[in-house]
C-alpha cells in the first residue's frame, strides 16, 4: 500500500468522487483539479486530511497544497482513483468550463495586464517621488519646493521624467505586446503596432484638447486625396490599444490559416499589420478613445456628484470581494483612463485603503491569537504583504477563514473610502497598494489621506476584536470556545537536542529576500512553510546541509532534501519553470542520494531561462515548519554559497 493511498481515497471522496473530477495534474507542490461541480468539494474534510497543507481556487482550478511529496501523492491518487492525469496546459484548458463569459473576459484582461504591473507600479513610485520634489512646499525651505531650492534635485526630477514617460505615455506599446504574447501570435508585430499609436509624428494625446479643430485639420492630418485622417496619438490610452491588439491577433491567425507556409513569413505580417494600423487610426482608435472617455466620465462623475459619498463607501467596502472574483483587474484599466483624461484618479486611493484595511484585520487576529506559533507563520507575513500591496495571503489565509475579520476590513475600507471621496482625494498615478501608496497621492491631499489610512487601520482592528468578542459573523472563533482541532501528521522522532539550532546554508548565489516577496502567493503566504527567496546570479545549486535527496522533480526545477536532523527543505528553482520540461536544467544527483553540504545538486542556464520569459526567483522553504522554528538570517543583500540563510530549531 502506498504512503498516501488512504489520503488519496479521502481526498477523492471529499472532492465529490471520481465523476466530479474532470482533470487532474500537479506541479512541484500542489495537486491541481478541474471539478465538474466545485460546490461538491467538502473543504472541511479536505483540511482534515493529514497530507493537505492548504487549498485555494484560481482560474477555474481547485488547488490542494501537498508539499514536496506531491509526486508520490499524485501517483497514489491516480492509483486509487483510476483517473489519468493530464498536462498542466490541458488542465488550464479544461478549467475554462468553470468560468462564465464574464470570468473568462476578466481572466483575459488579468493575463494582459499582469505582465505590465511591475512597470506600472515602479512608474507610480517614480511619479510619487517627483510629486514630493516639485509639488510639496517645505517650511524649512521658506515655503519653496525641493526643486525650487536645489539645482541637484531639479536635475533629478527632470531625469526621472524619462522612465515615467516611458512607462505611462508609451503604455499602448506594452498593451499590444502583452496581447500578442497572451494570444500566442508574433510579439514583435504587437510592439510595432504599439509604437505606431504613440509615434512622435502624431499629435500627443495630452495636447489634443488644447489644439483647435482647424489646427488639427491643417497640421495634423494625412491627406489621401479623397479623404483625410487625423494624426492623433494614443499616449496612455488603454481601450484603443486593446482593440488594435486584438484585431492584429485575429488577422494574423486568419492569414496563417489561408496563406501557404512557404510565403507566410512575408505576407502574414504584411497583411496583418498594415490593415490593423490603418484601422487603429481611422476606426478603432477614435471609437476606443470615446468608450474610454465615457467610462472615465461616468466613474469620475459618480465620485464627484452629490451622491459621491455613497459611491465611495460602496466601492471601498466591496473592492475586497472583487479581488476574490478577479474582477478587480478591470479597475486598472479604469484608473489608467482616468489619469489620461483628468490627470489623476479618484478610484485608486480607495483601492490602496482596502489593502491597508485587510492587513489591519489580520493584525487584530494576530493579537487575539497571540501565542499561536503555527498561525503566526501565515498571519504575520500576510499582514506585511497586505500593507505592501498584496492582499491575497491575508484574505485567503486568515480573513476569509474566520469571516468576521474580512467583514470588519470591508467596513473599515468603506468608511475610509467614504472619507477620501468626501475630501476629494486623488492620486497622480497608480502606485503600491498599501502603506507606501501615499507617494502616489496628490501633495495637497496628503493630510486627508493620512487620516484615511488611520481610519483604515483603526476601524478594522476595533471591529475585528469586537466581532470576535460578541460572536458576530463568527462561528468558529468565539471567546471561551477552542478553535477546531486540525489533524496533524504524527510528530517525527528527531534525534536533535530540543533546543539545538541547525544552520541552513544558501544553495545559490544571488540577492536574498524575505519570503513574502515571493511572486507565487502560496509561497509568499507561508502556506508551504517558512523560508526565504533568492534571486540567483549564477546557475549552480548546492546542498544546504548534509542529508538525503528526497525529491527530484522530472523537470529538474524542484529539489527536496531531508537533513540528518530531519529538516525538510524544498528548493523551487524559478516560477512556472515546470513548463520548460527540464530544458536548460541539469541534475547532478538522483532521488535517494546522500549529499554533503556544498555538493553540487544541479545547474541551470540562467540567461536562457530568463530569455524564455521565466523568472528564476527561487523560494528555499522548510516544508515541515510545524516541527521547526525557522529563523531567516538575512544580514546582507547578496548571499554566496555556504553562507547561512536560516536557522532551524526543533519545536
Task: Spell out the domain ranges in the chain.
Answer: 5-99, 169-295, 308-470, 502-650
Residue 398 · residue 362 · CB < 8 Å: yes
Distance (Å, rounded) from C-alpha 416 to C-alpha 418?
5
Degrees, nearest 5: CA angle 394-351-436: 75
**Band of residue 124 on the pLDDT scale cut at 50, 70, 90:** low
Residue 40 · residue 20 · CB < 8 Å: yes
Residue 61 · residue 92 · CB < 8 Å: yes
Tell me whether residue 395 is exposed, middle or buried, using C-beta atoms within 10 angstroms of its C-beta: 0 to 12, 13 to 18, 19 or more.
Answer: buried
Region 135-158: mean pLDDT is: 86
Length of the chain: 651
Region 5-27: mean pLDDT is: 87
Q: Which pLDDT value is given to residue 82?
A: 82
Q: Phi/psi of residue 604, each to 5°?
A: -145, 155
Q: Phi/psi of residue 31, each to 5°?
A: -85, 135
Q: Which pLDDT value is given to residue 648?
A: 86
Q: Is residue 604 pLDDT above 90, yes or no?
A: yes
pLDDT tens per residue, range 529-580: 788 999 999 999 999 999 988 888 888 888 989 888 888 899 999 988 888 8
- CA 339 to chain CA mean position, Å: 22
Non-local (6+) Cβ contacts of 473 within 8 A are 403, 404, 407, 467
Distance (Å, rounded) from C-alpha 588 to C-alpha 632?
27
Choice among 27, 125, 327, 524 that is catalytic? 27
599 is written with which cell numbers? 555538493
CATH architecture of the domain 5-99 equals 2-Layer Sandwich (3.30)
Distance (Å, rounded) from C-alpha 34 to C-alpha 541?
34
What mean pLDDT value characterizes the chain? 83
Q: Phi/psi of residue 616, each to 5°?
A: -100, 15
Region 488-516: mean pLDDT is: 67
Q: Lowest-pLDDT range, 272-276, 324-328, 395-399?
A: 324-328
Beta strands 221-223; 228-230: pairing state: antiparallel
**120-124, 226-230, 333-337, range with greatest mean pLDDT:** 226-230
Q: Which pLDDT value is given to residue 633?
A: 78
Region 572-593: mean pLDDT is: 89
Q: Lowest-pLDDT range, 92-101, 187-196, 611-620?
A: 92-101
Distance (Å, rounded) from C-alpha 108 to C-alpha 117?
15
Greater pLDDT, 636 or 615: 615
Alpha helices (runs of H) in 343-445, residue ranges in sequence order: 348-368, 373-387, 392-394, 400-402, 404-422
Q: Is residue 586 pLDDT above 90, yes or no?
A: yes
Non-local (6+) Cβ contacts of 35 within 8 A are 15, 16, 20, 21, 22, 41, 62, 98
Tell me whether residue 170 is exposed, middle or buried, using C-beta atoms within 10 angstroms of its C-beta: 0 to 12, 13 to 18, 19 or more.
Answer: middle
Q: Is residue 635 pLDDT above 70, yes or no?
A: no
**Band of residue 150 on the pLDDT scale cut at 50, 70, 90:** very high
Kindly provide the b/e burial profile for residues 266-292, where b requires at least 16 CB atoms within 10 angstroms of the residue's own CB: eebbebbbeebbebbbeebbbebbeeb
Q: How many CB atoms lie within 10 A of CB 45?
A: 14
Torsion angle, alpha carbons of 438, 442, 443, 446, to 10 = -50
Distance (Å, rounded) from C-alpha 324 to C-alpha 304?
28
**Band of residue 500 on the pLDDT scale cut at 50, 70, 90:** low
Q: Which pLDDT value is given to residue 91?
A: 47
State yes or no: is 352 an active-site residue: no
| Residues facing residue 535 across a β-bridge | 511
pLDDT tens per residue, range 247-273: 999 999 999 889 988 888 889 999 999
Distance (Å, rounded) from C-alpha 73 to C-alpha 492?
19
| Residues facing residue 559 across a β-bridge | 552, 571
Q: Which pLDDT value is given to residue 495?
A: 38
Among residues 338, 316, 298, 312, which one has the least CA distance to residue 428? 338
What percentage of the chain has pLDDT greater than the value 70?
86
Q: Which pLDDT value is given to residue 79?
A: 86
pLDDT tens per residue, range 377-394: 767 877 887 787 767 667
Q: Which pLDDT value is given to residue 324?
A: 60
CATH number, domain 502-650, options 2.60.120.380, 3.30.70.580, 3.40.47.10, 2.70.70.10:
2.70.70.10
549 three-state secondary structure:
strand
Q: Phi/psi of residue 561, each to 5°?
A: -135, 150
Q: Is residue 275 pLDDT above 90, yes or no?
A: yes
Q: Lowest-pLDDT range, 60-69, 102-111, 403-412, 544-553?
A: 102-111
**Band of residue 278 on the pLDDT scale cut at 50, 70, 90:** very high
Region 621-645: mean pLDDT is: 80
Non-local (6+) Cβ contacts of 255 within 8 A are 264, 267, 268, 271, 272
Region 396-422: mean pLDDT is: 88
Q: Is residue 198 pLDDT above 80, yes or no?
A: yes
User: What residue has cell string 507542490?
Assistant: 29
**Band of residue 453 on the pLDDT scale cut at 50, 70, 90:** very high
474 is written with which cell numbers? 463568527
Degrees, nearest 5: CA angle 69-72-78: 135
| Residues facing residue 549 across a β-bridge | 561
pLDDT tens per residue, range 319-367: 888 766 545 656 777 877 788 788 888 888 998 999 899 999 999 999 9
**Is this prediction's pTM over 0.75?**
no
Q: Which pLDDT value is given to residue 90?
A: 46
Distance (Å, rounded) from C-alpha 558 to C-alpha 67?
11
Distances (CA, A) of 439 to 123, 380, 521, 603: 11, 24, 25, 41
Q: Lowest-pLDDT range, 118-127, 133-142, 455-464?
A: 118-127
Greater pLDDT, 620 or 36: 620
**Ramachandran sector of residue 389 (left: φ over 0; alpha: ψ -120 to 50; beta: rest):** left
**299-303, 332-336, 614-618, range with greatest mean pLDDT:** 614-618
Q: Which pLDDT value is given to residue 417?
A: 93
What percentage of the chain has pLDDT greater than the value 90?
29
Region 158-169: mean pLDDT is: 86
Q: Which pLDDT value is given to residue 87?
A: 45
Q: Is residue 636 pLDDT above 90, yes or no?
A: no
Q: Is residue 492 pLDDT above 60, yes or no?
A: no
Q: Which pLDDT value is given to residue 249?
A: 93
Distances (CA, A) of 432 to 465, 534, 644: 28, 22, 31
Residue 32 · residue 63 · CB < 8 Å: yes
Q: Is residue 233 pLDDT above 80, yes or no?
A: yes
User: What residue has cell string 500537479?
Assistant: 26
Kindly tell me the number of DSSP H helices and DSSP E strands found in the chain: 24, 20
How is residue 174 annotated by DSSP? H
Q: Lowest-pLDDT range, 11-20, 140-149, 320-329?
A: 320-329
User: What residue has cell string 516560477?
Assistant: 575
Q: Which pLDDT value is given to residue 396?
A: 63
Q: How many CB atoms lie within 10 A of CB 44?
A: 8
Kindly provide the b/e burial profile for residues 519-535, where b requires at least 16 CB atoms within 10 angstroms of the residue's own CB: ebbbbbbbbbbbbbbbb
Amino acid at each position: 500500500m502506498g504512503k498516501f493511498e488512504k489520503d488519496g481515497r479521502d481526498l477523492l471522496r471529499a472532492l465529490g468522487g471520481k465523476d466530479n473530477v474532470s482533470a487532474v495534474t500537479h506541479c512541484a507542490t500542489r495537486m491541481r483539479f478541474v471539478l465538474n461541480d466545485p460546490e461538491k468539494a467538502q473543504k472541511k474534510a479536505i483540511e482534515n486530511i493529514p497530507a493537505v497543507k492548504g487549498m485555494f481556487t484560481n482560474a477555474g482550478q481547485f488547488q490542494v497544497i501537498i508539499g514536496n511529496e506531491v509526486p508520490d501523492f499524485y501517483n497514489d491518487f491516480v492509483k486509487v482513483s483510476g483517473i489519468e492525469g493530464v498536462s498542466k496546459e490541458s488542465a488550464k484548458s479544461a478549467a475554462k468550463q468553470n468560468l462564465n463569459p464574464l470570468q473568462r473576459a476578466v481572466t483575459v484582461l488579468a493575463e494582459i495586464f499582469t505582465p505590465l504591473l511591475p512597470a506600472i507600479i515602479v512608474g507610480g513610485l517614480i511619479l510619487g517621488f517627483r510629486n514630493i520634489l516639485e509639488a510639496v512646499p517645505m517650511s524649512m525651505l521658506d515655503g519653496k519646493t525641493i526643486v525650487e531650492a536645489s539645482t541637484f534635485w531639479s536635475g533629478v526630477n527632470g531625469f526621472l521624467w524619462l522612465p515615467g514617460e516611458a512607462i505611462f505615455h508609451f503604455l499602448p506599446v506594452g498593451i499590444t505586446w502583452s496581447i500578442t504574447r497572451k494570444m500566442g501570435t508574433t510579439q514583435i508585430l504587437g510592439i510595432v503596432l504599439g509604437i505606431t499609436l504613440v509615434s512622435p509624428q502624431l499629435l500627443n494625446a495630452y495636447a489634443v484638447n488644447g489644439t483647435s479643430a482647424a489646427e488639427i485639420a491643417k497640421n495634423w492630418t494625412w491627406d489621401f486625396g479623397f479623404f483625410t485622417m487625423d494624426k492623433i496619438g494614443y499616449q496612455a490610452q488603454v481601450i484603443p490599444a486593446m482593440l488594435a491588439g486584438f484585431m492584429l491577433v485575429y488577422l494574423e491567425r486568419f492569414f496563417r490559416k489561408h496563406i501557404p507556409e512557404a510565403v507566410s513569413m512575408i505576407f502574414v505580417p504584411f497583411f496583418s499589420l498594415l490593415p490593423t494600423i490603418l484601422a487603429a487610426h481611422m476606426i478603432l482608435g477614435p471609437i476606443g478613445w470615446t468608450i474610454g472617455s465615457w467610462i472615465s466620465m461616468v466613474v469620475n462623475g459618480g465620485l464627484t456628484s452629490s451622491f459621491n459619498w455613497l459611491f465611495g463607501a460602496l466601492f471601498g467596502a466591496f473592492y475586497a470581494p472583487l479581488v476574490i472574483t478577479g474582477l478587480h483587474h478591470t479597475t486598472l484599466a479604469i484608473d489608467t483612463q482616468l489619469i489620461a483624461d483628468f490627470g489623476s484618479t479618484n478610484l485608486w486611493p480607495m483601492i490602496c485603503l482596502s489593502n491597508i484595511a485587510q492587513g489591519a484585520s489580520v493584525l487584530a487576529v494576530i493579537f487575539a491569537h497571540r501565542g499561536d506559533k503555527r498561525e503566526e507563520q501565515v498571519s504575520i507575513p500576510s499582514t506585511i504583504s497586505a500593507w505592501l500591496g498584496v492582499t491575497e495571503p491575508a484574505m485567503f489565509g486568515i480573513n476569509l477563514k474566520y469571516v468576521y475579520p474580512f467583514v470588519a476590513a470591508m467596513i473599515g475600507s468603506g468608511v475610509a473610502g467614504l472619507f477620501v471621496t468626501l475630501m476629494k482625494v486623488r492620486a497622480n498615478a497608480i502606485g503600491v497598494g498599501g502603506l507606501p501608496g501615499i507617494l502616489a497621492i496628490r501633495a495637497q491631499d496628503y493630510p486627508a489621506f493620512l487620516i484615511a489610512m488611520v481610519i483604515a487601520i483603526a476601524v478594522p482592528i476595533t471591529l475585528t476584536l469586537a466581532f470576535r468578542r460578541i460572536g458576530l459573523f463568527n462561528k468558529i472563533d468565539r471567546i471561551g470556545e477552542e478553535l477546531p482541532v486540525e489533524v496533524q501528521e504524527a510528530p517525527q522522532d528527531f534525534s536533535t537536542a530540543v533546543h539545538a539550532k541547525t544552520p541552513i546554508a544558501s544553495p545559490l548565489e544571488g540577492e536574498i529576500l524575505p519570503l513574502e516577496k515571493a511572486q507565487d502567493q502560496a509561497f509568499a503566504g507561508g502556506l508551504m512553510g517558512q523560508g526565504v527567496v533568492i534571486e540567483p546570479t549564477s546557475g549552480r545549486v548546492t546542498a544546504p546541509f548534509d542529508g538525503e535527496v528526497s525529491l527530484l522533480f522530472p523537470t529538474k526545477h524542484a529539489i527536496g532534501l531531508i537533513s540528518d536532523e530531519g529538516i525538510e527543505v524544498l528548493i523551487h528553482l524559478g516560477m512556472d519553470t515546470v513548463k520548460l520540461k527540464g530544458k536548460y536544467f541539469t541534475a547532478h544527483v538522483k532521488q535517494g542520494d546522500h549529499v554533503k553540504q556544498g555538493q553540487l545538486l544541479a545547474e541551470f542556464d540562467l540567461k536562457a531561462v530568463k530569455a524564455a520569459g521565466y523568472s528564476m526567483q527561487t523560494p528555499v522553504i522548510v516544508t515541515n515548519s510545524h516541527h521547526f522554528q525557522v529563523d531567516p538570517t538575512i544580514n546582507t543583500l547578496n548571499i554566496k554559497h555556504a553562507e547561512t540563510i536560516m536557522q532551524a530549531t526543533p519545536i
